Amino acid sequence: MLIKRLYFIATALLAFSICSCGESYPDHPWEWDQETEEEESNPDIVSQGWTVADNFGNLPDYIHIYKSPENLAGKKAIAYIAVADMSKAKFEVLGNIAFSQEANGYGSKSIYTPSEFYESSKAPVVINGGLFFYSAGFYYSQNLVIREGQILAPNQNYYSKDWVTMWYPTLGAFCQMKDGTFQTTWTYQASDGINYCYPAPADNDINKDPLQAPSSTFPNGAKALEATTGIGGVTVLLRAGEIKNTYVEEMLDISAASNQPRTAIGITTDKKMIIFVCEGRNMTEGVAGLTTANVAKVMKDLGCTEALNLDGGGSSCMLVNGKETIKGSDGKQRKVLTAVGIK
């Protein structure tokens, strides 16, 4: 009798195992848990309607990509964010800027598409960097570039409409400091050759008389900038958890109050870097873009305490494993001087 019972149990188990391999069951059930696991890693983001974008291939387990809900800041939107755990990820500023006597400063003879930056760096996430201009055969960065503790270019330290009246604005920067923390700040390369950072911008305004040039004593709270990696932009969006949106004080024209494609970078209190890009200029019908005030609110809602607006418009681009996220407003990738990579 015992032998018969054992035979019956063994036969039943064998039948169950055979049925369990039928087409009604996934071959690899753990694959179904991947998206849930990704969502649970950033539940506050998912709760706001951002959805996991899983069509960009394999990524390190510390980097996640999300697509925006259909509306942001009350506007039709197409936007993407990369969320990277910076206890594991590495923040890099890409570009071959170097000091040249021929260039009479820090410049480069070449600019590159984000795809070219991806091919050379193989960073899983690449976005465009700061502003730049062209003059006499060289491209010059208008924004801060710091790599491996070396300042390769300072933020532009002047502004003028007519080259008669001159302003000396402090521009925004996003930096990884030597102690490993991340912060936004306003910087200026002063006449003593030192790059200073400030807890608040010089209170410049195109509708007011120019203020004195920044220095070690103006604006208040100046410190020599000590960062290992940094990228400059125009408009500090968030500082110490508060929305700033200081495009008036920073002065360079980025059409801040109009809807445009935008790129931004920020950090949360739990050391997750958030890189943001949004489409604009009706490359998709009805998607005009966002203002910098809109982006500041979005970044705050995503949990950022520090955030900086980077170059936008036709330069706005995010690649994930070399694949484009948004439609660039030039109809193709614009070549840029600098990019940011997350590895």
pLDDT in tens, 238-262: 999 999 999 999 999 999 999 999 9
The pLDDT > 70 percentage for the chain reads 88
pTM (predicted TM-score): 0.88
Does residue 63 have a pLDDT over 60? yes
**40 confidence band (pLDDT: 50, 70, 90):** low
Q: Which of 26-40, 53-67, 180-194, 310-324 has the lowest mean pLDDT?
A: 26-40
Write the single-letter amino acid at 115.
Answer: S
Q: How far apart are CA 304 and CA 90, in angstroms?
A: 18
Which pLDDT does position 83 carry in this prediction? 98
Q: Which residues pair with 91 in a beta bridge?
A: 342
Q: How far apart are CA 233 and CA 112, in angstroms?
A: 18
Which pLDDT does position 164 carry in this prediction? 95
In terms of Cβ atoms closer than 10 Å to its own Cβ (0-12, 13-18, 19+), residue 36 is exposed
**What is the widest separation between alpha-carbon atoms in the chain?**
107
What's the CA dihedral at 188, 196, 263, 38 to 10 degrees?
180
Q: Which residues pair with 79 in a beta bridge?
A: 278
Angle at 151 (CA atoms; ends 98, 216), nearest 5 degrees: 140
Which pLDDT does position 189 carry in this prediction? 97
CB atoms within 10 A of CB 1: 5
pLDDT in tens, 150-203: 999 999 999 999 999 999 999 999 999 999 999 999 999 999 999 999 999 999
Q: How far apart are CA 157 and CA 153, in angstroms?
A: 11
Q: How far apart are CA 15 and CA 133, in angstroms?
A: 72
Side-chain-side CA neighbours of 230 within 13 Å: the count stands at 32
First to last CA, the chain: 65
State both tokens at 284: 């998709």
Which pLDDT does position 99 carry in this prediction? 75
Mean pLDDT of the chain: 89
**Over residues 30-57, mean pLDDT:** 74
The pLDDT > 90 percentage for the chain reads 84
SS (H, E, C) the chain: CHHHHHHHHHHHHHHHHHHCCCCCCCCCHHHHHHHHHHHHHCHHHHCCCCEECCCCCCCCCCEEEEECCCEECCEECCEEEEEEECCCCCEEEECCCEEECCCCEEEECCCECHHHHHHHHCCCEEEECCCEEEECCEEEECCCEEECCEEEECCCCCECCCCCCCECCCEEEEEEECCCCEEEEEEEECCCCCEEEECCCCCCCCCCCCCCCCCCCCCCCCEECCEEEEEECCCEEEECCEECCCHHHHCCCCCCCCCECEEEEEEECCCEEEEEEECCCCCCCCCCCECHHHHHHHHHHCCEEEEEECCCHHHCCEEECCEECCCCCCCCCCCECCEEEEC
pLDDT in tens, 1-38: 433 333 333 333 333 333 333 333 233 332 333 444 44
**Over residues 273-301, mean pLDDT:** 98
State both tokens at 223: 């410190």
Which pLDDT does position 330 carry in this prediction? 96
**Over residues 35-58, mean pLDDT:** 83
Within 8 A by CB and 6+ apart from 44, the residues are 302, 303
